[in-house]
Each structure stands twice: as structure tokens, then as C-alpha cells.
Structure 1
Amino acid sequence: MAANARSLSRAELRNAGWGRHAISKAVATGVLVRARRNHYLPGDAPVSILRAVRVGGQLTCLSLLQLAGVFVLRNSRLHVRAAHTMSRLRSPHDRWRRLEHRSVRGVHVHWEVLIDPCPHEATCVSVVDALAAAARCQPPRATVATFDSALHLGFVDEQDLDDIFASLPVRYRALRPLIDGRAESGAETLLRLILRSLRCKVELQVVIDGVGRVDLLVDGWLIIECDSEEFHSGWHYQERDRLRDLASAERGYTVLRPTARLIFTEPERVRAAVHGLLSARRRLR
């Protein structure tokens, strides 16, 4: 993973057998990149890491989590963690230009004390510290979805989560019981949180005979599948989904398929649709 990367100083390169001319040639040909004074990275280093090192710190928070494949609802900034002793921060695009972090758009500099300290030559903080930072940078529901994703993907375990919440202000601890690593997508987590206000029973990743595994089962009869363009686009996949819906209907289930985009952008409409179905069912009893 990218978090294992580190920058190398000129002295370290020389000790590894790189001569002065070899270093210059490697920089000229793109084999190495000089991110900032005395900090060299491989030429194929991810752009976000290169820019974080150029600023003068390590990649962190939402930027690191995005790079690792952890779900992030939205992020358009470069998140960099800098030591309190670091005073010469630079632009992520130009190592010769000073960064005025309070006014530069697109860069968020973090100064938090790390849970899992890393050496100064590290290019990334740990995922544990990235998650702790992300909790401060996102709305609560997005934070739960990010934590669910990190747990599901195996980047952290339950003890790591306990350590993270122990490091955060008390107001964040109400989110700890909401985290569930069974969620396979951010949309699934956000939908689960939407449903909490409807006073219904919600089960995750339920296997139904003749249908297969479904994302959520509400009150034992309403199947909700969180469709994403990545896994449900194309006629073949749509027909497969419709066959599953027919199999569900044969067994007495109702199926609702909101897209991930609708869950992200119009959560109230999705909630209203589920509420309408639940209300209609209850009137028939």
C-alpha cells in the first residue's frame, strides 16, 4: 500500500550506490522526482503523495483514504499532515513557491498529534491516523461510511476503531456503535443510516434461497439493492438484476433499487420512497 512509501535523501541515494551524475540523470529522465529539497521519490509515485511531500508533510485524511480505495463521499482537496515544527511549507505544484496554507484553496494542512507516529521520511500517515483526521473533516454519516469501508476492506480492526475514537473528542463517540464492516459500499452504509429514522428492522447482506445475497432486508419483506454504475451497467447486468427481482417476487418480497447517486444526492427522496412502501404494507395488515 502507498502508506509504506518513504522519501529518500540525497545522502541515502549516495549510500545506496547512486553517484551525483546518476542522480541527476534519474531526475532528468523521470526515474526519480525531487519533490522538495533533499526529498526524492520514485518517478511513478502517486501524484497525491508527490504533492504532499512537496508541501512538506505526509498524505493524510481523505486524500490517503481515496488513494487506498476506501470510500469517501466527496473530496476535492489535498490533505497533508505537517509537524508543528515544520515552518517552510510549499505549494503542492511548485516547490519554489511558499504555501500560505490559510489562504491557498485546494490544500488542507493538518496539525493533529498522531496516534501511530511515523518517521519524518514517511510519505503517508497510517490509515488509523487518516481515519481519525477524516472524522473531523466529514459530516457524521459520511464518516460512518468511510469507517465501514476501511473495516470491510481490512485496513483496520475493531481495536483500531476503539483507539481512533479514544483519541477523538467525546462528541464523536456516538458514531462508534453505528460502524458495521459488513457494508460492502458507501451507498449501502448511507442507506442504512437513512432507514434508522423509520423505526424498521434492517438486516445487512441477507442470503435468500433462490435469490442469493441482498444488500438490505427491511422488516423481513422489503429488499433494497444499492445499484452502482460500476456493477449494474449494461444490458446483461440489468437483465440479471431483473431475473433476481422476479425470483424475489415469486417468494413474496418487494424490491427497491435506488442508485448510489440518488442515495448520495437525494437521500430524502429515497427515504420517502421506503416510507411509502412501509406505510402501505402496514395499512394492509
Structure 2
Amino acid sequence: MKLTSFLSARGGTAATAGILRAGFSRRDIDRALAAGAIVRFRRGHYGLPQDPSTYRAARELKGLLTCISAAPSYGLWTLVPAQTLHLCLGHRAVPAGAVVHGRCRHARHDWLPVAGLADVLLHALHCLPELQALVMVQCAVGRGDISLEFLRGKLGGNRNGRARSVLDLVIPRADSLLEVLANTAFRRAGLHLRRHVQIPGVGEVDFLIEDCLVVETDGETHLEPLQVKKDRWRNNASVVGGYLVLRFGYADVVHHPERMVAEVLAVLELWRRGAFHP
């Protein structure tokens, strides 16, 4: 493997120790530097030329990415990409435009300039808007990467009340960020619902509300032709089975949750008035 390929696989940057552990020699580093294939942007740290990655920025600033800036490194769900660098810094100088979090208290990422998952989530819980923090935590907890009990144990005291309230919104299973957001919206509207219900002749549905209304949350995969046909068949089977059906996409759930809830409430009110009865 070429040194440039190694750096590319490591997010574009690496420290000398990591390069040597990968089997390269100092002569390999010197040759790549002389050829302009890599650059030394800080003592003991190398990267690809003209690489704008956040990893390089973190190494240049002698910090670790955290909070939403570290979400891609762990494959965590996010509602919006990071608009600025969120960093843990071991010094007091604060880069212009960066968001600086407290020091990291847990083991960092093995080879990237990224804080450990526990610190990333704890910082997100204190920093981000409620739902943005929720989807990150839901993703990590749902995959079994970390437990709610561990996070709660780190959030004692009155000053952590808001962060603990976000943990209360995490559900045992969510197949997409849309499910956890829709669940939060429906619960706050006072609706009685069940998740991942098996309906004979239909299969598993995302939500069954008030035991009469099936609600499905559709991500991008539901726009694929085969999935569209499957969803149409499931809709028909649900109606034949005696259920009402509503489907909501990404824009509905993420950007217009109030409208989504209003439509659900409107259908339920019509059902109560007998609009769908003979």
C-alpha cells in the first residue's frame, strides 16, 4: 500500500507513530514529502496536500473532534451536518468560529483525532438542540455501542437535568431517525401508540395509533421503484384488514412535525365521528 492510500483510508491525516505502526518507514515519509505526495502540517503529523478535512483541522489545532463534528466518524445519525468545528482542546486558545467543549474524560478514538464515543455523546447532550442530540444517542444506543445506564450515570445532579430528559426520549428500537422523531412527536401529542406491530397479511408496521391508524415513516429507500410497489401493496392490505393508513416522508417528520401530528389527529377525529364506518 502507498503512503497516500494509507492516509486517504485514515481520513487524510495521520501521526508519525500511526504511520510507522502501519509498516512504513521514516524513509517512506521523507520520500513522499520530497515528492509532494504528502505534507507535514504540524510536527509529527502528516496529510494529503490541499486536504480540507476536519481531521486535518483538528490535528492542526492540537485538538479532538467531538459533539456533532465527530458524528460521521462513528456513523451516528444527524439531522444537519456540523456548521462549525466542535473540539476538545488541551489548551486555552480558542480558534475563531470553533465550539470548544470540556476536556475529554474517556478513551479517545484509536487512530483518528476524535474524542471517544462517550465524550462525543455527553458533549452533544449538553450542546445541541434536543432532537439533534436525541438522534445521535438513539443511533449509538440502538446499535449497542453504549448503554443508557452508562450515560445516565455520567449525568447526575440538577445541572444535567436537560441532558437526562433527552435520554428519556430514547426508545428500545428505531430503524431510522424518522421513527424516533415521529415517536417523540406522537407521544407529546398524547396519542396512544404501539411500535413495530405485526399485522396479519401486512407484516410489521412502524406505528399503530389508537389501534386503528397505521402510520409509516418513509426514508429515501421508499422512493425506489420496488419499494414503492411493496408499500402500495402493504397500504392496500392494511385497508382491507380494517386499518386506516398514513405515510410520512423525511420532510414531514423532520421539518413539519406539527403538520404531521395535525393530520394524524384529523384522521382520528374523523374515525371517532364515524366517517369511515358504513
- The TM tier, using the shorter chain, reads 0.7 to 0.9
Shift of 1:263: 1.2
C-alpha contact 1:10 1:40 (8 A) present in aligned 2? no
> Are the aligned partners of 2:13 and 2:55 in contact in 1 as well (CA < 8 Å)?
no
Aligned to 1:77: 83
Provide the rounded CA distance (Å) in 2 between the counterparts of 1:18 and 1:160: 41
CA-based RMSD: 3.4
3-state SS in 2 of match to 1:101: coil
Aligned to 1:94: none
The alpha-carbon distance between structure 1 residues 206 and 164, as it changes in their structure 2 partners (threshold 3 A), is: farther
Find the partner of 1:264 among 254, 257, 274. 254
TM (normalized to structure 1)? 0.79
Counterpart residue type for residue 128 of structure 1: A
CA contact (8 A) 1:8 1:40 kept: yes
CA 1:142–1:58 in structure 2 vs 1: closer, same or farther (change >3 Å)? same
Q: Is the 8 A contact 2:62 2:90 kept in 1?
A: no
The equivalent of 1:109 in structure 2 is 99
Alignment of 1:50-199 (within 5 A): 50-85=56-91, 87=93, 101-102=95-96, 104=97, 108-118=98-108, 123-166=113-156, 169-199=160-190
* Equivalent-residue separation in structure 1 for 2:144 and 2:83 (angstroms): 25
Distance (whole Å) between structure 2 residues aligned to residue 252 and residue 28 of structure 1: 73
Counterpart of 1:242, as a letter, is R
Tell me the percent identity.
Answer: 27
TM-score normalised by length of structure 2: 0.81
Q: What residue ranges of structure 2 are gaps of 5+ in the alignment?
A: 1-8
**Structure 1 residues 201 and 22, CA, compared in 2 at 3 Å: closer, same or farther?**
same
Letter in 2 for 1:26: A
Q: SS of 2:262's equivalent?
A: helix
Distance 1:13 1:109, change over 3 A: farther
Conservation of the 8 A alpha-carbon contact between 1:144 and 1:179: yes
Secondary structure in 1 matching 2:214? strand
Deviates more, 1:262-271 or 1:45-54: 45-54
1:35, distance to aligned residue in structure 2 (A): 4.3
Which ranges in structure 1 are unaligned for 5 or more consecutive residues? 88-99
> Cα distance, 1:243 vs. partner?
0.1
